[in-house]
Homo-oligomer: A and B are copies of this chain.
Amino acid sequence: MSLNASQINAIKKAPTVEGVLPVFHERWSARSFADREVAPETLKKVFEAARWAASAYNEQPWCFLVGRRGSSAYQKIFASLIEFNQSWARTAPVLILGAAKTSFTHNGTENGYAIYDLGAASSYLTLEAAALGLTTHQMAGYDQAKARQAFDIPAEYALGAVIALGYQGEPAALGNEQLIAREIEPRDRKPLSEIALSAWDEPAKL
């Protein structure tokens, strides 16, 4: 089966709900990237979006190591990925590693929301990427110790996901039947009744 990017996006798009921003339904995590660079001024916008996430005490604990293909940062992030992720992420023109400071700057105490806030900023980044016609894929599958060592990241920073970013490619370019099958299957989420509750194990009346 040979589907192009726009056919896939139609499959991946969540059912429209009136009043819900289209970007939430349109964003999905592709693995096939086109052989096309991302202009610095375009990349800048995804971090501009990330800046404005909310955070505990407005600490903004997040930072992002950004590797463009051919750079030392890219090599370091790529080398930390597990083999499966390397097999497809090698076509991504940009790799990003998120980190979050786990103490508050204003008083030095522990920030228990550092990773929560990094998750928020990263989602702003990926939503803005989708709005710009880019695709992103966040990965938990990488060696955190290896990445930390390669960048000499201080112990007080916790690591988030690695984010592959670029323009969407054709599924066929993945060259692997299993990956192609995942690239074209519809997205799936739990029903609202499992995530909005009025008591533990009791769906909220919405």
Footprint of B on A, CB under 8 Å?
14, 17, 19-21, 23-25, 27, 29, 40-45, 47-54, 56-58, 60, 62-67, 71-73, 112-113, 115-120, 122-124, 126-128, 131-132, 138, 140, 151-154, 160-161, 187-190, 192, 194-200, 204-206
Contact = CB atoms under 8 A, between A and B. Distances in A.
Contact of A119 (B40, B115, B190): B115
- Residue among A21, A40, A112, A128 facing the most chain B CB atoms (10 A cut-off): A21
28 contacts: A17-B48, A19-B45, A20-B48, A21-B23, A21-B49, A24-B49, A24-B124, A29-B54, A44-B196, A47-B192, A47-B196, A51-B192, A51-B195, A52-B187, A52-B189, A56-B138, A57-B140, A62-B195, A66-B206, A72-B198, A115-B116, A118-B119, A119-B119, A124-B127, A127-B127, A151-B199, A151-B200, A152-B200
A60 B188 CA distance: 10
Nearest to A53: B123
Contacts of A200: 65, 151-154
A195 B52 contact: no
> Which 6 pairs of residues, A with B, have the shortest CB-CB distance?
A119-B119, A116-B119, A120-B123, A44-B206, A56-B140, A66-B204
A140 to B, nearest CB: 4
A17 B45 contact: yes
Count of chain copies: 2
Contact of A19 (B62, B120, B132): B132
Given A40-B206, A116-B160, A195-B47, A128 B20 contact: yes
Contact of A161 (B113, B127, B151, B198): B113
B63 A194 contact: yes
A27 B52 contact: yes
A27 B29 CA distance: 25
Contacts of A65: 197-200
